Structure 1
Amino acid sequence: MKLQELADLLGGTLHGDGSLEFARPLPPVEAGSADLAVAMQPELLGDLGRSPARVGLLANGTEPPEGTLDAWVCVGRPRYALHRLTGALGQEPFVAPGIHPTAVVEPGAEVSPDASLGAFVYVGPRARIGRGARILNHVSIGQDAVIGEDTLLHPGVRVGERVRIGARVIIHSNAALGADGFSFVTPEPGSVEHARSSGSGKVSSFNEHIARIHSLGSVVVGDDVEIGANTCIDKGTLTDTCIGSGTKIDDLVMIGHNVRIGMLCMICGQVGIAGSTVIGNGVVLAGGVGVADHAKIGDHAVVGARSGVMGEIPEKEVWMGYPARPRKETMEIFVYQSKLKALFREVSDFRKAFASFLEDGRGK
């Protein structure tokens, strides 16, 4: 790609000779003489002095050290520029057109003529595969499931019965949609119910038998959703578990039965969301957040990493900590915790001084 083409692609400002070409974008310390040195963070500018690259990509308001680059492009929003750059240069996964000879398509299933099914794909009865969908090897799609137009399922994805997936969805390897929800009950009040209601700190009621509550609902995924590898989304009990359009879900996320997640949310790795939780639009759950069952998180709220959400979070607020509280309260707690050692030392010194004072008083 020529540097002028890069500037046009990113809407950036060209400095120097636009006819210079590069082979691939790399960090400055890894870029060779034929590569584009990507130094959009100010702390990377110093690395240009140790790089043989002659062309670079920088942020607006920055310049390369003198004598390092022959030409460069400056952009206003580096992360969005990276989105455009990687989108233009990225390679799509390969799947041959048509249906691979080893794929199994059950009678009654509908596969669009221009959809692609890779090796050892299974499509259950009455399932529907939309136009332009790409189903890579070893994917299984259950009966009555629906896969929308231009959706991409990476190897090993499991789509359960009656799951409905929208258009332009990307699901990464070994994700499982449509397992039964973790929903069980005991014939008489068991240990969990007793622990919740008694408040005594001890369990006096025990589980004699545990019976499954079956999942009659399924999973519904909107358009333009991305779901990471090894993520699991359970079916609903009576209604569907729902993922709103535009939402992005990381690897290793667990979403329980009946959960409803709004549009344009970002759910980061190792998040666990228990059953019947309702999450609004534009919510961000950072890595490792745990959300208790029946919790509610308002639109555009942000929850910090490793936080534990127990109840309700209002819209547009930032919460963090365990249990999660408004960010200001949690930061105050962190500050006070850091002072506990000094406080205990002062209290100990005071007690010693007071004891000495009392002894002196009795002596007199």
Structure 2
Amino acid sequence: MSHSITVADLATRLGLRFAGDGTLPLSRAAEPADAGPSDLALAMNPKFGDTLRAGQAKAAVLWDGADWTSFGLDAAIFAPRARLAMVGVTAAFDSGPDIAPGVHPSAVIDPTAEIGDGAAIGPLCVVGARAKIGARVRMAAHVTIGADAVIGEDGLFHSGVRIGKGVVIGDRVIAQPGAVVGSDGFSFVTTEKSHVEEARETLGADVAAEGQAWLRIASLGGVVIGEDVELGANVTIDQGTIRPTRIGDGTKLDNQVQIGHNVVVGRHCLLCGQVGVAGSTVIGDFVVMGGQAGAADNLSIGSGAIIGAGTGVLSNVPKGRAMMGYPAVTMQTHVEMYKALRRLPRLLGRLSGKE
């Protein structure tokens, strides 16, 4: 989108009320203290009032009901929900990566691949045999699309993205640099029962010291990703063993999220940085997993569940349950356990007669 927009046009796009000079042009969004005369200052909370006065902004996004004239502004947009307003504000000033239209001369496109109308394919990209690239897809430098992959319309693939053979991706998907979709699943087995299996059955008692060689199970299932999905930098999604690994519509994966083979992630989930989901676990719709949370294999996490940061999910989680800790317990129980843990030194001191 354009880097210049008037106050009135931006307010219309946001669906918000404005006051003052609607013809005032805006070149970028800025924090109040850093804003210049052509910038839009983002001051959606009263605590930014003093820094707004100290800056040079002529226009600002303010909290609902703010006395905009007291800040020396020429115009103001009023936002009842600050973070919701940020969606439209940032979109208005985000031009995206600079990818020239058409196919760059250095790109390698297999003759059997299909490239949709208006697609932009950057330098040193590779598109494999029989792959299908949808209309208006934009691919930055060094993107690789494997054979038989299908990419929907209006996608954006930043530099270094790797899409494996046979992966199916829906419309309007965004993949940040280094995302890898369709790598082999981490599936290995031993000829006889392994010491890992013994540990599971006996809870670690009398595990044989001698190990065995691991035999590789090939991954044949591929990956299917829905529409409006976003993949953060260095996300890795393994393909399924026989059936596909699936990511539902609208789901957002943060940087360094790892999705194991056969995993199913539902619609509109939010998986934050360094979340790891082990093979064959099924996650429902609208699930949120905080940073560095993890789920063991072959589990079920119900729709609407909230998994706190650093939580280790080792058993099934019911629908709508908020969980925290390792192993995961309900958030309220975890808080009580933490309080009790903090009291232990004093309690032990009393028992020992030192207090």
- What TM-score range do you get, normalising by the shorter chain? over 0.9
In the other structure, the counterpart of 1:47 is 51
Instruction: Tell me the amino acid that sits aligned with residue 155 of structure 2.
Output: T
One of 158, 162, 170 as aligned partner of 2:174: 170
SS of 1:178's partner is strand
Paired with 2:127 and 2:24, the residues of 1 have a C-alpha distance of: 49
Paired with 1:73 and 1:142, the residues of 2 have a C-alpha distance of: 46
The superposition leaves residues 77-110 of structure 1 with CA deviations (integer Å, 9 ceiling, x where unpaired) of 2111110111112112122222221111223222
Instruction: Tell me the amino acid that sits aligned with residue 135 of structure 2.
Output: R
Instruction: Tell me the amino acid that sits aligned with residue 175 of structure 1.
Output: A
Q: Quick one: structure 1 residues 159 and 200, their matched pair in 2 at CA, closer, same or farther if it must change by over 3 Å? A: closer
Per-residue deviation, 1:286: 1.0
| More deviation, 104-113/289-298 | 104-113
SS of 2:26's partner is coil
The superposition leaves residues 306-356 of structure 1 with CA deviations (integer Å, 9 ceiling, x where unpaired) of 11111111111211111111111011111111211221222222xx69xxx
One of 263, 272, 275 as aligned partner of 2:267: 263
8 Å Cα contact 2:218/2:241 also seen in 1: yes
In the other structure, the counterpart of 1:342 is 346
Paired with 2:172 and 2:56, the residues of 1 have a C-alpha distance of: 40
In the other structure, the counterpart of 1:282 is 286
Q: Quick one: structure 1 residues 330 and 65, their matched pair in 2 at CA, closer, same or farther if it must change by over 3 Å? A: farther
Instruction: Tell me the amino acid that sits aligned with residue 92 of structure 2.
Output: A
8 Å Cα contact 1:190/1:206 also seen in 2: no
8 Å Cα contact 1:10/1:75 also seen in 2: no
8 Å Cα contact 1:134/1:150 also seen in 2: yes
Paired with 1:77 and 1:4, the residues of 2 have a C-alpha distance of: 19
Paired with 2:110 and 2:59, the residues of 1 have a C-alpha distance of: 54
Q: Quick one: structure 1 residues 65 and 189, their matched pair in 2 at CA, closer, same or farther if it must change by over 3 Å? A: farther
Q: Quick one: structure 1 residues 72 and 333, their matched pair in 2 at CA, closer, same or farther if it must change by over 3 Å? A: same
Instruction: Tell me the amino acid that sits aligned with residue 251 of structure 2.
Output: T
Q: In the alignment, does 2:263 pair up with 1:296?
A: no
Instruction: Tell me the amino acid that sits aligned with residue 49 of structure 1.
Output: R
In the other structure, the counterpart of 2:122 is 118
Which of structures 1 and 2 has the bigger CA Rg? 1
In the other structure, the counterpart of 2:323 is 319
Per-residue deviation, 1:9: 2.3
| More deviation, 48-57/301-310 | 48-57
In the other structure, the counterpart of 1:30 is 34
Instruction: Tell me the amino acid that sits aligned with residue 311 of structure 1.
Output: S
Instruction: Tell me the amino acid that sits aligned with residue 299 of structure 2.
Output: A
In the other structure, the counterpart of 2:244 is 240
8 Å Cα contact 2:29/2:93 also seen in 1: no
Please give the residue correspondences for 1:76-91 in structure 2 after superposition, counting only pairs within 5 Å.
76-91=80-95
8 Å Cα contact 2:32/2:48 also seen in 1: yes
8 Å Cα contact 2:49/2:71 also seen in 1: no
8 Å Cα contact 2:52/2:71 also seen in 1: no
Paired with 2:65 and 2:342, the residues of 1 have a C-alpha distance of: 39
Instruction: Tell me the amino acid that sits aligned with residue 9 of structure 1.
Output: R
One of 216, 221, 224 as aligned partner of 2:228: 224
Paired with 1:336 and 1:234, the residues of 2 have a C-alpha distance of: 40
8 Å Cα contact 2:142/2:160 also seen in 1: yes
Paired with 1:135 and 1:70, the residues of 2 have a C-alpha distance of: 41
Instruction: Tell me the amino acid that sits aligned with residue 276 of structure 1.
Output: S
In the other structure, the counterpart of 1:332 is 336
TM-score normalised over the length of structure 1: 0.91
Paired with 2:22 and 2:100, the residues of 1 have a C-alpha distance of: 37
Count the aligned residue pairs. 351
Aligned-pair identity in percent equals: 45
Per-residue deviation, 1:221: 0.5
Paired with 1:323 and 1:46, the residues of 2 have a C-alpha distance of: 46
Per-residue deviation, 1:200: 4.0
Q: In the alignment, does 2:164 pair up with 1:182?
A: no
One of 161, 164, 180 as aligned partner of 2:165: 161
| More deviation, 92-101/258-267 | 92-101
In the other structure, the counterpart of 1:106 is 110
SS of 1:313's partner is coil
8 Å Cα contact 2:106/2:123 also seen in 1: yes
In the other structure, the counterpart of 2:310 is 306
One of 115, 127, 131 as aligned partner of 1:127: 131
Paired with 1:248 and 1:225, the residues of 2 have a C-alpha distance of: 6
In the other structure, the counterpart of 1:147 is 151
Paired with 2:68 and 2:309, the residues of 1 have a C-alpha distance of: 35
Paired with 1:51 and 1:343, the residues of 2 have a C-alpha distance of: 54
Per-residue deviation, 1:67: 4.5
Per-residue deviation, 1:207: 2.3
Per-residue deviation, 1:145: 0.8
Paired with 2:59 and 2:102, the residues of 1 have a C-alpha distance of: 42
Paired with 2:186 and 2:331, the residues of 1 have a C-alpha distance of: 32
Instruction: Tell me the amino acid that sits aligned with residue 304 of structure 2.
Output: H
